[in-house]
Amino acid sequence: MQGTGQKVQSQDNQYRAALRFYNGQGVLCPRARCDLGVKAKSPAQQTGEIIKKVESPLLKFKPSVVLIYGDTNSSLAGALAASKLGISIAHVEAGVRSGEGIPEEWNRKVIDVLAEYHFCPTMDSFQNLVWEGLWKSNSYLTGDVAVDLFEDTESDESVLDAYGIEKNKYVLATIHRQGNTDDKHRLSKIAEWLKTSDNAILISHPRNSKMLKEFGLEKQIKSKIRPAANYAQMLALERNARAIVTDSGGVQKEAYMSKVPCVVLREKTEWKDPVSHGWAVCSEIDYIQANLEKVISSEKLKPYGFKRGRNSIIKILEDNYGKTIQTKEERKKK
């Protein structure tokens, strides 16, 4: 396939990531061409199902290169399917490492091994590829497409009234990683903190919702739970929070870019700048409140380090495959 037009295979998170290339600068957002529709199963079953389902559109569209975003099971499955078909792979967020050895980390490493192009969001991620012996001539320090999405999206402030909260008077919590939700002890401790906090709210997620019910914890924090939010609503919640408690890599970055203190419910994080600049702290579940107070009062450096990535990636692809991505203005001229 000539040129760098993009066909989007959607498995929720991946569709949102794909839009990062197109939001802003008059570029049209594509609709998902194929909703894979794979339901929640064990990681191995889910990965296998996605590999089977993504093969057909890959054979149909015959792309020159497949863009793989991030570290999910969908990302791993897409990379494996493309690799088996001999299609070049470009990994967006290549080289990102936390050192925890969590499933997402292994997904990233496998994708980086398979990828012909590495698009690294930070200098740390670029250096990780060098240290691991994965660096190649097609490894680039491009910047982060999450920054494009963050800076180009207008937040939906109406969500504050809908959720019954006021600016700078609440702590936003998001919990979705398997290590926190599927461990009864850890989830109980998180629920205990939510229950005793005067101003914390928890955004519902399929995984935390399921496990709170399964462990019998939902009722005690029911008043703290708010419905799932779309991206524009999440930006409003993040930008107006007093602080954020999360296990999400994306939310960590958005907190940093919003200049909002953040407690990360993980032993380590792949995003080092927010921690070294005083905007984030990794925390064990027994010390959430203490670390929350610590990060709110700590000295902080002006946020820097995350740069836009969309245009750099598009240019690299256009240099190698030609240009078919068109702006709205270019479309109108035809």
For each of the domains in the chain, give its residue range(s) and CATH number, in order of start: 9-144+307-333 (3.40.50.2000), 158-297 (3.40.50.2000)
Find out whether 280 and 274 touch, Cβ atoms under 8 Å: yes
Q: In Å, what is the CA distance from 197 to each residue of 36, 192, 224, 290? A: 39, 9, 9, 12
Rg (CA), the chain: 20
Q: Which pLDDT does position 333 carry in this prediction?
A: 61
Residue 111 has a pLDDT of: 97
Q: Which of 22-26, 108-112, 246-250, 290-294 has the lowest mean pLDDT?
A: 22-26
With 70 as the cut, is the pLDDT of residue 3 above it?
no
Catalytic residues: 176
Q: What is the mean pLDDT of residues 209-214?
A: 96
Give strand pairing partners of 172: 201, 244
CB 257 within 8 A of CB 234: no
DSSP track, 222-250 = GGGEE----HHHHHHHHHT-SEEEE--HH
Q: Provide the mean pLDDT of the chain.
A: 87
Asked if 235 and 207 count as a contact pair (C-beta separation under 8 A), the reply is no
pLDDT on residue 276:
92
What are the two backbone dihedrals, phi and then psi, of residue 40, each rounded to the nearest 5 degrees?
Answer: -65, 125
pLDDT tens track for 270-284: 999 999 999 999 999
| Stretch 62-77: mean pLDDT | 91
**Strand-pair partners of 67:** 90
- Single-letter residue type at 123: M
Read off the pLDDT of residues 32-48 as tens digits, 9 standing for 90 and up: 466 677 776 788 888 99
Q: Is the pLDDT of residue 9 over 70?
A: no
- What does the alpha-carbon distance between residue 129 and residue 112 come to, in Å, rounded to a whole number? 8
pLDDT top residue among 190 and 6: 190
Write down the pLDDT at residue 33. 60
As a whole number, mean pLDDT of residues 105-126 equals 96
Confidence of residue 14 (pLDDT cuts 50, 70, 90): very low
Residue 36 dihedral angles phi and psi, to the nearest 5°: -65, -30
pLDDT for the residue numbered 27: 35
At 10, which helix (H) or strand (E)? strand 9-10
